[in-house]
Amino acid sequence: MRNGCFVAWKCVPSPMAIDPGIVQTAASLGPSKDSRVNVSSTIDATAPKFLRDKYAIVGVGETTYSRSSGRTTRALATWALRNAIADAGLTPKDVDGMLSYSSFSDSTFCIQVSGDLGTRLNFYMDVHGGGTSTETLVGIAIGVIEAGLCKTVAIYRSMNGYSQTRIGGTGPRASLPVAGDLLHTAAFGMQSPGQMFGLTFMRHMHDYGTTPEQVAMVKVIHSEHASNNPKAFYKHRVSVDDVLNSKMICKPLHLLDCCVETDNATAIIVTSAERAKDCKQPLVLIRGVAGRVNKPRLDMHYQHGPITLAAGAYAKDIIWPNAGVGPEDIDITASYDAFTFTTLLQLEAYGFCKIGEGGQYVSDGTMRLGGRRPNNTSGGHLCEGYTHGVSMVVENVRQLRHDVDDSCPVGPDGRRQHTYDYREGGCRQVRDVEVSANLGWAGAQTASAMVMRCG
């Protein structure tokens, strides 16, 4: 942490800020961690701030990223969950809560998966939805544990996103009958994620002079990161010209502006910070969550403008007060990269740069390994594989443990000895990282976010 804010939080008692609308006692607050936060004090954030640092992500796991899993989503889910549970140093008997999410009926629900793991659940829920689900489900997990429904929650997303249900919308579901609200969009050939988001992206270029070259840098940088990620589906580095010369999919999106479709499952384990102390890995604490925060007019969000503004502009007023930090405190970001543009729009919306200056931010080297605030150090959805968001939490947890799974040699203590040499095939651990932000996207209209820190 370059500005030492967490050191200050841990060591320097300061006057306690009382949140409007939230009843708190001095005992419940402990030493205040809010004194340096410059955010709106009028927000009654969704999670009471005394839940800060009370919950942790103790286990992360995934399958391989492929385009031919040769397995059901049920098998993929149990594979990823076993890895995550083992990573935490737990057994399936320790997991008594489960959450999953899916779209287009493309996954297997908790009912089957929990049985295959040998768990007995005190709580489960299968949620419909996409790219904002990860952080949202972490928030739900915290809520149900806090309410006493269960103690430890496993969250998974399992998908054969290439070999079965193509997440880009090709295949059998491309030609389903057009009905309901889709009569106002799909009837005109606007139905895939890229097609639906393209209007926002194009208008951003018009309003702010954002250039294709600037936007292409998102892919370039994420490909650099993926080249240091042995498990990434695309490990080769690409140039701006490679992006701009790749075939046009739906203008303004070239093929390389779009994420990779893959088969995979990913999983994370959430439990209380108290229980986390008994787990295997270095502690990674959850500072705050914002879940599925929306712009007005979800029935067709284009009715409300500016259409270039992502819902992160609303979510930021929840996540930053909730977490007690601002963008300037964040060491690494994971900004959902279903497309190059989505990374840009979110970083703007959350205040990492001014609105309209995202093109500059994503292309000036800030997001690079070795830069001021690396983004998607795994290569993200553009390169590592498409997981609907979970993999970006997995990556940041490993970063915060200072144990990211690159090619650096493993020392006698079983942990990697990172070189911080970010050349191709090398290290991707960020030096001295202490606090991360995950920014989830389900379209410009809906946003989720989570801040985590080293324990």
- Each residue 220-259 as x (binds other proteins by CB under 8 A) or -, in order, gives ------------------------x--xxxxxx-------
| 59 close to 87: Cβ distance less than 8 angstroms | yes
At its nearest, how many Å lie between other proteins and the CB of residue 254?
9
* C-beta closer to other proteins: residue 250 or 279: 250
Element containing residue 266 per DSSP (H, E): strand 263-272
Count CA atoms closer than 13 A to 234's CA, side-chain side.
Answer: 22
At its nearest, how many Å lie between other proteins and the CB of residue 44?
23
Using alpha carbons only, how large is the chain's radius of gyration in Å?
A: 21
* C-beta closer to other proteins: residue 70 or 177: 177
At its nearest, how many Å lie between other proteins and the CB of residue 161?
15
Q: Is 200 exposed, middle or buried (0-12, 13-18, 19+ CB in 10 A)?
A: buried
Sites for other proteins among residues 185-204 (CB under 8 A): 185-192, 195, 198-200, 202-203
Write the CB contacts of 177 (distance below 8 Å, at least 6 apart in sequence): none
Report the distance separating Cα 73 and Cα 447, nearest Å: 26
Pairing state of beta strands 446-454 and 97-102? unpaired
Which of 18, 121, 178, 240 touches other proteins by CB under 8 A?
A: 178
Pairing state of beta strands 446-454 and 435-441? antiparallel
Number of chain residues interacting with other proteins (CB under 8 A): 47
Query: Cα torsion at 230, 234, 239, 242 (round to 10°)?
Result: 160
- Each residue 8-37 as x (binds other proteins by CB under 8 A) or -, in order, gives ------------------------------
Q: Is 208 a catalytic residue?
A: no
- The one-letter amino acid code at 339 reads F
At its nearest, how many Å lie between other proteins and the CB of residue 362?
17
Which of 7, 12, 22, 183 touches other proteins by CB under 8 A?
A: 183
Report the distance separating Cα 210 and Cα 295, nearest Å: 23
CB atoms within 10 A of CB 393: 25
At its nearest, how many Å lie between other proteins and the CB of residue 308?
9
Report the distance separating Cα 376 and Cα 362, nearest Å: 12
Q: Is 386 a catalytic residue?
A: yes
H-assigned helices in 38-152: 73-88, 110-117, 133-146
* C-beta closer to other proteins: residue 66 or 191: 191
* C-beta closer to other proteins: residue 70 or 189: 189
Sites for other proteins among residues 305-364 (CB under 8 A): 305-307
Pairing state of beta strands 55-62 and 284-294? antiparallel
Instruction: Check 156, 350, 361, 386 and give the catalytic one.
Output: 386
Query: Cα torsion at 404, 369, 56, 380 (round to 10°)?
Result: -80
At its nearest, how many Å lie between other proteins and the CB of residue 170?
6
Report the distance separating Cα 118 and Cα 108, nearest Å: 16
- Each residue 262-301 as x (binds other proteins by CB under 8 A) or -, in order, gives ----------------------------------xx-xx-
At its nearest, how many Å lie between other proteins and the CB of residue 315?
18
* C-beta closer to other proteins: residue 153 or 313: 313
* C-beta closer to other proteins: residue 212 or 426: 212
* C-beta closer to other proteins: residue 64 or 191: 191
* C-beta closer to other proteins: residue 75 or 205: 205
Q: Is 242 exposed, middle or buried (0-12, 13-18, 19+ CB in 10 A)?
A: middle
369 closest CA partner among 231, 228, 238, 225 = 225
Which of 44, 181, 424, 432 touches other proteins by CB under 8 A?
A: 181
- Assigned token pair, 330: 């964040």
Instruction: Check 55, 162, 314, 336 and give the catalytic one.
Output: 336
At its nearest, how many Å lie between other proteins and the CB of residue 255?
8
Residues belonging to the active site: 336, 386
Residues at the contact surface with other proteins, assessed by CB under 8 A:
168-170, 174-175, 177-181, 183-192, 195, 198-200, 202-203, 205-206, 211-212, 244, 247-252, 296-297, 299-300, 302-307
